[in-house]
Chains A and B, each alone.
Chain A
Amino acid sequence: MYFEELGMPLALASLVASILLVAALALALLRIVKGPTPFDRVVALDLIGGICLCIIVMFAIHFDQQVLLDAAFVIAIVSFIGTVAFARYLGKGGDQ
């Protein structure tokens, strides 16, 4: 039904992109479960932040909501601060 509203190439592309992004989330989550060191988990978490940004941008295009780009901006800021905070904490041996 939305295929006519959105245009065929865009609807198909957002379908393919959503499948790829959800698969990427699953792979990163697998690394968080396996990750031998806490550093692996932090890097995977950082990547999940980036994938969330991608998913929000894909939603913005699919549902034609420009406001969602502001949410993507916030995600970019917060995921950077989180990674640096984790790096400082783990680098000083905070988890021991």
Chain B
Amino acid sequence: MSWLVALLLILGAFFAFVAALGVLRFPDFYARMHAATKAGAFGAALLLLAAAIHFGSLRAIITVGLIIVFFYLTTPVAAQTIAQAAYRRGVALWSKTVHDQLAEDEAE
């Protein structure tokens, strides 16, 4: 059991690190937002799962379940809100972007 917790701990921290690496290295704002929300939420979920397995009590499992559900409900909302605000304010897309669906839809 201890090995499973250790593996989940390292994997979760690795995904959080990958999210931060994406936020630093991706070329435009929208790609950075994408990296931060998806990988970050997945890393946090893995770490919380490790905590649930480590403690194994009912209280820990309920708390962890609540945090995971709440995190996965709120992260997309926050990402969508901030991306919409950025698009409305005219934050530039990457120069190599091939398709801007929202601009096409609004032109119709």
Residues of A within 8 A of B (CB): 7, 9-10, 12-14, 16-18, 20-21, 23-28, 30-31, 37, 39-40, 42-44, 46-47, 50-51, 53-54, 57-58, 60-61, 66, 69-70, 72-73, 76-77, 80, 83-84, 86-88, 90-91, 93
Contacts and interface: CB of A to CB of B under 8 A. Distances in A.
Interface string B8-30: 01101110110111011000010
Contacts of B5: 9-10, 13, 61
B82 interface: yes
B16 to A, nearest CB: 5
15 contacts: A10-B2, A20-B17, A21-B17, A27-B20, A28-B20, A39-B33, A40-B29, A44-B23, A51-B40, A54-B43, A57-B48, A60-B51, A69-B51, A73-B67, A93-B89
B13 A37 contact: no
Interface residues of B, number: 53
A53 to B, nearest CB: 6
A58 B13 contact: yes
Contact of B55 (A9, A53, A66, A80): A66
B57 interface: yes
Interface of B: 2-3, 5-7, 9-10, 12-14, 16-17, 19-21, 23-24, 29, 32-33, 36-37, 40-41, 43-44, 47-48, 50-51, 54-55, 57, 59-60, 63-64, 66-67, 70-71, 74-75, 77-78, 81-82, 84-86, 88-89, 91
